[in-house]
Amino acid sequence: MNRRYRKTIIAGNWKMNKTPTEAKALIEEMKPALSRCKWCEMVLCVPFTDIQNAVKAARGSKIAIGAQNMHFEKSGAFTGEVSADMLKEMGVKFVIIGHSERRQYFGETDISCNKKVKVALAAGLRPILCCGETLEEREQDVTMEVVRKQIKIALRDVAAEDIKKVVIAYEPIWAIGTGKTATAEQAGEVCSAIRDCLRELYGARAARAITVQYGGSMNAKNAAELLAQPDVDGGLIGGASLKAADFAAIVDAANQ
């Protein structure tokens, strides 16, 4: 982490877990422990059906609520989708874009991510843009090429004045939900390469101000080591964000 130049952000991705009632209960359980947070922003990206309850439960706390997906059109015949304006009006502050599960199961592409990033920014939402390689791509030693391609396409035509609002989440696909975690050195190396790519696109001053998270089985035990890397500015947390004590421990590690 480098707090001199950028914010540390710990974001939970609840995926398809928790009913609205369960969401309210979990946030209420989290709030006392998270109230002592001083140095980082905390975000919970919840299922769409939970957003209303989550926003109400988080009111008055330091927790921001995020969404897990959105469509790039403002409205229209897109059954089952939600727009950026709908999320904004509900009190959402962040939105995950391009998670590997969206890419794998629902056909998300770098091009659709680009459309969503621009629409999210226009609506006043902060995109959490995901990138990452498969195990096969890592074994073929093309991790950096894959990640750079994802970043460059997804950020095409994003204005320099908007780029600081974007959060990048490096999530090696082989480490998501598998219990495997990139070593701190591996995570730091790729996050540093992401910042190099951002520097090429937007210049050094902008690049050093952008939060780059690590996702992929970050948990209470390994968070401190991962966050000690200078270019790892937080985490996008899966399973550990569904347990109040574990999520609080990660936030505590970010506050050291």
Residues serving a catalytic function are: 99, 171
Based on its alpha-carbon atoms, the radius of gyration of the chain, rounded to whole angstroms, reads 17
Q: Exposed, middle or buried, 230 (CB in 10 Å: 0-12/13-18/19+)?
A: exposed
Q: How far apart are CA 85 and CA 169, in angstroms?
A: 23
Instruction: Name residue 143's amino acid.
Output: T
- For residue 170, give the 3-state DSSP assignment: strand
Q: Report whether 110 contacts 150 (CB < 8 A).
A: yes
Q: How far apart are CA 75 and CA 189, in angstroms?
A: 40
Q: Exposed, middle or buried, 238 (CB in 10 Å: 0-12/13-18/19+)?
A: buried
For 91: left if phi > 0, alpha if psi spans -120 to 50, otherwise beta; the answer is left
Q: Report whether 150 contacts 98 (CB < 8 A).
A: yes
**Dihedral sign for Cα atoms in the order 131, 170, 193, 3:** positive
Q: Report whether 146 contacts 133 (CB < 8 A).
A: yes
